[in-house]
Amino acid sequence: MNQTLLVIPAIKKNAVIPDQLIKKLDGITLIQRAINTAKKITNNILIITDSQELSLIAKRNNIKYFFDSDLQLNSNNIVKVVNNIVKENDFKDIILYRANTPLINSEVLIKAYKEFLVDDKVILTSVKSLDKQLLKYKQNSLEKVNKKYFKELKAFYIYKKDIKEKLFKPFIIDEEKSIEIETYQDWWICEKILQRKRIVFNVIGNTKIGMGHIYHSLALAHEITDHEVIFVCNEKYKIAVDKIASMDYKVLPSSNVTKTIIDLKPDLVINDILNTDIKYIETLKQNNIKVVNFEDLGDGTKEADLVFNELYDVPQLNGNNFLWGYEYLALRDEFENAIPHKFENNVESILITFGGTDQNNITLVTLKTIMNIIEKRNIKVYIVCGGGYLYKKELERYLKKSGYKNIELSYAVEVISQIMEKTQIAFSSNGRTVYELAHMNIPSIVISHHKREATHSFATLEKGFINLGVYNKNNIENLIINNFRKLLDNDYRELLFMNIKKYDFKENKKKVVKKIMELL
C-alpha cells in the first residue's frame, strides 16, 4: 500500500456529541481508535482537522496533519476538499476513513481495499443493508417490492485520487459493525460491543452420546448476554451442529477443533466434552485463553482454570480449580417455569427414562417387570427413550403384544419437563435427569448403566431416591419390583417426597455463569 494514503477527517465542529473525537469510548478516544486502526494498515496517514487539539494528537502520534480552523466538510464536498488538500502528494489511492464508526477495524478496511483493486474505476462506499419488507399500493392492493436497499454508512470511501466521474459501488458492512455514532445511544451500543469478550463452547452430542451436553451448554449460553458466543463442534456431531444452529447461535463444524478454536482467538473456551486431553488444554492456555471444563475427570483438568464436576458430590481428584457437587448443577431452560409437584396420595402416572442409547435396555426390563402392577392399577406410563436407543423395535413389539393402551412412548423428547409435571414416580439412569427429577419433587428409582455413572452420588434415600446401583441382570428384576411396591405405599413415598422437596436448583445456573464470568 505504498501508493495509498489513509486520510482521517477530524472536524471538531461536525461533532454530534460535544468533543466526541476526544471523548473516551471504552477507555480510548475516538480519534485514537481511528489512528490505531490506520497504523495497522499503513504508515501513510494524514489527519485533516479544524482543531489545534486534534493537530497535537496527530503530532504526538507522529502522523502528518492538515490544520485549517475554517475547514468545512460534509458528505457532498468531502471528496473534493480532500483531493484539493492532497493533490500535491504522489499517492494514487485514497482511503478516506472516518472515526465515528469505531467498530470498523483494520480487517474490514483491508478487505474493502482488496475489493476496490478489482474495480478501481469507482468509489467504493461503505453501506449497510436495509433488510425491510417494503410494500407499494397498486390498483387497490398491496404488492411486495422485491428490491435490495442500502443506506450509506459514513465509515469510508476508497477511490483513485484522479477519479473523474463519481461512480459509487457499495461495500456491505456486517450489521453488528454498521453502527455510526450519531446519538448518545449509538455511543452506548458501541461501547457495549467493544467491551464484549469472545466465548467459544466446544460441545459434543449425537444419538449415541445423547444431547445432554448440548442442552446444558445452550442453557449456559442463554445466560451470557454481554459477550459474543460461538459454538464449535467436531463435524462428526452433525446433530449437535444442527440443534445449535436452530437456536440462532453461530456454530462452526470442524475436522480440527483445536485449530478452529485457536483461529477464533477467543478470550474463554468452555468445554462440555467429558474427559479432556492435557495437550488440547495446554494448547489453549499457550494462546492466553481461559479454560472452563464441565463433567471432566481427564488429564486436561490439571491445566484448566475451572472445572465444574456437578454430578460428583464426592471429589474424585485433588485441585483448587475444581467445583464439585449439586450446588453447581445448572438446569436446562425448560425447567425455569416447570411446576414442581405437591404430594399426591394416588400414583396416576410414572416415567421410565434411561436416555442415550440405554445399552442394557433397562427401559424394557423395567416395563416388563412392573407391567402386572401398572395394569391392575391402570397407571399411565410415559416412556422417554434417547435418540440412539438401541432396542426400538424390540420395545415396540412388546408394547404391541402387551395390548396395554395406557402407555405413551417418545423418542429424543426436547421438553421432558412437561412429562415430569404429570408423573409421581420415575425410573431413571444416574445422570442429569436425576437432578431434574429432584427439582420436580419426584421420588424415583435410579439404576446406573456403568461404574462411572455409579460414582454420581446424589441419588440417595436422604435426597428422595432409591438407588439400585449398577445394572446387574441377575437381580435387577427383584430389586425393581420390590422397590416399586415400596414407592406405591403412600407413607413411604411421602417420606421420600419430604426428603426431595428440599432441593431447588433454579438459582444454580446464575451462580455457575457468575463463576465463569469472573475469569474474564
Domain encompassing residue 241: 198-330
As beta bridge partners, residue 128 has 151
Mean pLDDT of 376-385: 96
Which run of H or E residues covers position 417?
Answer: helix 417-420
pLDDT at position 76, please? 85
The residue among 2 and 99 whose pLDDT is bigger is 99
φ, ψ for residue 154, nearest 5 deg: -80, 65
pLDDT at position 211, please? 77
* pLDDT tier for residue 359 given thresholds of 50, 70 and 90: confident
- For residue 452, the domain's CATH number is 3.40.50.2000
pLDDT at position 266, please? 97
Q: Which three cell numbers stand for residue 135?
A: 410494500
Place of cell 419437563: 417
Percent above pLDDT 70 for the chain: 99
264 and 363 assigned to the same domain: no
Q: Which three cell numbers stand for residue 480?
A: 425393581
On whether residue 475 sits in a domain, the answer given is yes
161 and 224 assigned to the same domain: no
Q: Strand ranges (DSSP E) for 333-478?
A: 349-353, 380-385, 407-411, 425-428, 444-448, 465-470
- Residue 508 in contact with residue 328, Cβ under 8 Å? yes
pLDDT at position 188, please? 94
pLDDT at position 74, please? 84
Residue 278, CA atoms < 13 Å, CB-side half-sphere: 3
Mean pLDDT (the chain) is 93
Mean pLDDT of 137-163: 86
141 and 290 assigned to the same domain: no
- For residue 314, the domain's CATH number is 3.40.50.11190
Indicate the length of the chain as a whole number: 520
Instruction: List the single range of 3-12, 244-253, 254-263, 395-404 with lowest mean pLDDT.
Output: 244-253
| Boundary residue ending a domain (296, 330, 364) | 330
pLDDT at position 99, please? 96
pLDDT at position 137, please? 82
* pLDDT tier for residue 82 given thresholds of 50, 70 and 90: very high
On whether residue 520 sits in a domain, the answer given is no
What is this structure's pTM? 0.80
- pLDDT at 145 > cutoff 80: no
As beta bridge partners, residue 127 has 152, 172
385 and 452 assigned to the same domain: yes
- At 29-58, the pLDDT tens digits run 999 999 999 999 999 999 999 999 999 999
pLDDT at position 166, please? 81
Residues 265-287 as b or e (16 or more Cβ within 10 Å = b): ebbbbbbbbeebeeebbebbbee
Rg of the chain on CA atoms, in Å: 31
72 and 176 assigned to the same domain: yes
- pLDDT at 265 > cutoff 90: yes
Of 305, 310, 313, the residue nearest 328 (C-alpha) = 310
Please count the structural domains in the chain.
Answer: 3
- At 423-452, the pLDDT tens digits run 999 999 998 999 999 999 999 999 999 888
As beta bridge partners, residue 149 has 130
* pLDDT tier for residue 421 given thresholds of 50, 70 and 90: very high
* pLDDT tier for residue 387 given thresholds of 50, 70 and 90: confident
On whether residue 508 sits in a domain, the answer given is no
- pLDDT at 208 > cutoff 80: no
- pLDDT at 69 > cutoff 90: yes
* pLDDT tier for residue 181 given thresholds of 50, 70 and 90: very high
Of 486, 464, 107, the residue nearest 478 (C-alpha) = 486
Q: Which amino acid is at 36?
A: N
pLDDT at position 28, please? 96
| Boundary residue ending a domain (194, 217, 242) | 194
On whether residue 505 sits in a domain, the answer given is no
60 and 165 assigned to the same domain: yes
C-alpha distance from residue 251 to each of 218, 247, 292, 358, 395 (Å): 12, 10, 19, 29, 35
341 and 355 assigned to the same domain: yes
Instruction: List the single range of 51-55, 148-152, 403-407 with lowest mean pLDDT.
Output: 148-152
Q: Strand ranges (DSSP E) for 255-374?
A: 268-272, 290-294, 306-309, 322-324, 349-353
pLDDT at position 310, please? 93
pLDDT at position 140, please? 82
* pLDDT tier for residue 349 given thresholds of 50, 70 and 90: very high
On whether residue 517 sits in a domain, the answer given is no
